Every structure is written in C-alpha cells, then in structure tokens.
Amino acid sequence: MGRDDVLEGGPPTESPESPEPTPADHDRDEGAGELERTIGLVGGLAIGIGTMIGAGIFVFPGLAAQNAGPAASLSFAIGAVVALLVALPLSELATAMPRSGGGYFFISRGLGTGPGAVIGIGLWLGLVFAAAFYLVGLGSYAGQVFAEAGIALPVNPAVPLGVAFGVALTVLSVFGTENTASLQNAIVIVLLVILTLFLSYGSLDALGVFGTESTPERFLPPGGTMPVLQTAALVFTSYLGFAQVATVAGDITNPSRNLPLAMVGSVLVVGAFYVVTIFVATSAFGSARLGEFGETAMVEVARAFVGLPGAIAIVVAGLLATFSSANASILSASRAVYAVSRDDLLPESAGRLNLRYGTPHVALGMAGGPIVVLAATGQVELLAEVASVLHLVMYGLVCIALIRLRRESPEWYSPSFRCPAGFLVAGLGALTSLSLIAFMQPASIGVGAAVMIAAYAWYRYYATDVELKGAF
C-alpha cells in the first residue's frame, strides 16, 4: 500500500470491486470528480408534475373550452397519449446517456450535429417561449390577487406583472444558492391537495350529487373533431414538463427504475387532473362563458362552487403552479444553453459558472433576457404553441434517434431501461408528435420554423466542423 499507488495510479479503467457497470448512486468519473446523484423518485415526479401542472389547469381551461367545448377533455387526453409515447423512448435514451441537455444530447449523438444544433438551439428557445407563457399566466394570477382584494387597476396587470416576475426569477436563480428542491416538493404536494379536494367536490357536484344544476352541453363542438385536434395542439404545452426529468438524468438515483417511472407517472398524474378539470369546469359554466373568463377561468369555477374561499384557494394554487412552471423552465433553458455550448455549438463562455455562487450566470441571462421580452408581448396562445412546436419536433426526432440507435446499436449504447415494444412505441411517438404540429395555427408554425431555420443557419455559420454523432 505505497503512497505511489495513490498518486501515480494509472487511468481509472475500472474499479476493481465492480468490473461491470452497476447502477451506482453516483457517477464514477474519477478523473475530475464524481457526481452525486441526489434526486430520487419523489424528486423526479415533483420536477415533472411541478413543471407541467401550471399550464393545463390554471391557464388553459378557459381557452380550451372556448375552442372545443367539453370535448377539450379529449384534447387533453390526446396530449397525454402523445406524451406517454415519447416518455418511454426518452427514458431509454436518458438511461443510456445520463447527461444534462436531455433531448438535445440524444439527438446530437444519435442523428448528428445538424439536427442536434437545430434541436439544441430550438430547445433553448422553446423553453424560453414556454417560460414566457407561464409568466403571463403567473401575471394573470397575480393580477387576480388585486381583483380579489377589490383594488381596481387602470390596466390589465397580467403582462407587467409577468415581466416583473421574469426579471425577479432570473436574478434569483443567479444569486440564490438556497436549495429549493424541498420547496418544490412542498409546492407540488400543496397543489395536489388543493386540486384533489376541489376536483372531487366539483365532480360530485357536476354529477348531480349535491343537486346543483349543471350545464348540459353537447360534448363535441360544432366543428366536429377538427377543433378538438387543434385544441390538443394548443394545450400540448401543458405536457412539456415531463421531458425536464430527462434533463436531470445525471442527478437521478437508480435511473433505470426512477427515470421511466417519474416521466410516465408525472404524465399520468397531470393528464388525469387535466381531463377532470375540464369536465368540472365545463359542467359549472357553459364553454363560451368559460372562454370569457380567460386565463383565470378556474377561479370563477371555484367561486361558483364554494364562494370566495374557493376562489382564493385557486388563486393561491394558480400562483404556486405557474411560478413553479416558470422557474423550472428558466432553469431548464439555462441547462439547454450549457449543453449546447459544451459541444461548441455556442461560444464556450455561455456555459460558464461563477465560482462565488456556482450558478451559470451567462446561460441564465441568455434564458431570462428573451423570456422577459417575450412575456412582454402577452401573446399567450402564440407563446404556448411556438413552445409546443419546438418541443414536438424534438420529441419526434428523439423517437427517430431511438430507432436509429437500436438499429445501429453502437458499442457505447447500453441503456439500463429498455422501452417495451421499442420500435412500435417510438414509431407512433414520432408520428403523433410530428402530426400534432399540423394542427397548430399557421403563425405558430411559422415562428417555430423560423427559429429552426435560424438555428440551422447559425450551425452552418459557426459550427460546421463540429462532429457529435456517437461522440460519447
């Protein structure tokens, strides 16, 4: 046991006590340090649910019901199916490549630099659009606080408040070093409790248990299935969060079990909540009336059931949910910037950390800046759809990457979780994600396409010599 063994040991080929890779709780990169895995199944579920639940329940019900009537439930269910079809292939890829960057990393390694660059930059901006959308929702709920307090404001405060929250969240994530994981878990639990109570009461009421009159309405909207599909495309933003679990794949304990469970579980949980929410909301009011209430329609629904306390509970829940979604999206956007800059598709300085706070201040700024600008536009539907377009393209390519990697099965590809019926699920996942884009508004598709073209042009200009396929 000489000291020389310690200081001049050879490269860490493999640790002697575990010749084959075992699902350890940490990353054994002995050269420059290990990475501790600290997020368990509960933490993973909290990330997924916390990112998603803000939009589907607290922003979309009014808009969705206006477009599709009670059949908006079906639109949310369609979204859940698409998300599930993508979640399984994504889990497999994430256990094979547990790196921050999620979908971007898998696509750049599986399909090459070009698609990788488009998706990487697209993911960053997609999250920027999503975060801006959540911020406008957050602003609407913060504005509702004034309304509940009886303070009349000269202008609709949603957009200015959303912008203010955007600035505050960005600054907080650069300088705040408090660990907020437990806070996130607590927020999710409080939310689920409030929603479960509210939706149980609402469902019983709608089914006539309490004898209140509910609003009978034909299920499908006048336009038939078309509005349902268009609404499914609009509200798909409510499911973007499940993929965030994959972006922290490197931090998750026992990833072969916890990753798929967290992704699939969080989609199932929020999907169920969404479907029931629409059912309850459209039972309480007519769809047209719901649409008039706009982003804070759920507050009126709660008021109709249990009066002011219900309204206040939903305002609080809405604030928590949209806050947690916006925060998660800002952080994910900064991780996307880091992942792309690590691969030299953006200048290296974008991924810099400051030693004092240990936070990626440049990347956070590159996320927060455009988010604030976009939030200032206040275009809720456009922001949501562009975010969805950019994500859906990524989901489609993730599925294609899975199929390609399974076909080629390179030596480094050894996922610890394998998607059941992989080719079928991934094939359907790619098909459904990409088809859903067709039902978006033309403007959203246009903006999404412009972002991707710009991303590709940037790649041709800046990073043609980068080769990422299989670089792992």
CA dihedral 88, 91, 96, 98 (to 10 degrees): 160
Choose between 178 and 213: whose C-beta lies nearer to other proteins.
178
The answer to whether residue 251 forms part of the interface with other proteins (CB under 8 A) is yes
* Token representation of residue 382: 């456009």
Query: Residue 320 burial by CB count (10 A; 0-12/13-18/19+): exposed, middle or buried?
Result: buried
- Report, in Å, the least distance between residue 35 CB and other proteins: 4
- Sites for other proteins among residues 128-167 (CB under 8 A): none
- How many Cβ atoms sit within 10 Å of the Cβ of residue 71? 26
Task: Find the binder of other proteins among 213, 355, 407, 461 (CB under 8 A).
Answer: 355
Q: How many residues bind other proteins (CB under 8 A)?
A: 87
Q: Which of 51, 67, 75, 100 binds other proteins (CB under 8 A)?
A: 100
Question: 39, 251 in Cβ contact below 8 A?
Answer: yes
- Asked if 176 interacts with other proteins (CB under 8 A), we say yes
As a whole number of angstroms, the distance between CA 445 and CA 371 comes to 19
**Judged by CB under 8 A, which of 338, 395, 439, 459 binds other proteins?**
338
Find where tokens 């075992």 sit.
Answer: 22
Total count of residues recorded for the chain:
472
CB of 196 to other proteins, least distance (A): 20
Minimum CB distance to other proteins, residue 93 (Å): 12
Q: Please state, in angstroms and rounded to a whole number, the distance separating the CA atoms of residues 126 and 122.
A: 6
Torsion (CA) 103, 108, 109, 111 in degrees, nearest 10: 100
CB 277 within 8 A of CB 53: no
Least gap, CB of 327 to other proteins (angstroms): 9
From 342, 418, 449, 456, residue interacting with other proteins (rule: CB under 8 A): 342
User: 3-class SS at 39?
Assistant: strand
Binding to other proteins (CB under 8 A) within 21-60 occurs at: 21-44
Hey, is 26 helix, strand or coil?
Answer: strand
* Residue among 10 and 442 whose Cβ is closer to other proteins: 10
Nearest residue (CB) to other proteins, 9 versus 154: 9
351 binds other proteins, rule: CB under 8 A: yes
Residues in 178-217 at the binding interface with other proteins, rule: CB under 8 A: 178-182, 185
**96 lies in the site for other proteins, by CB under 8 A:** yes
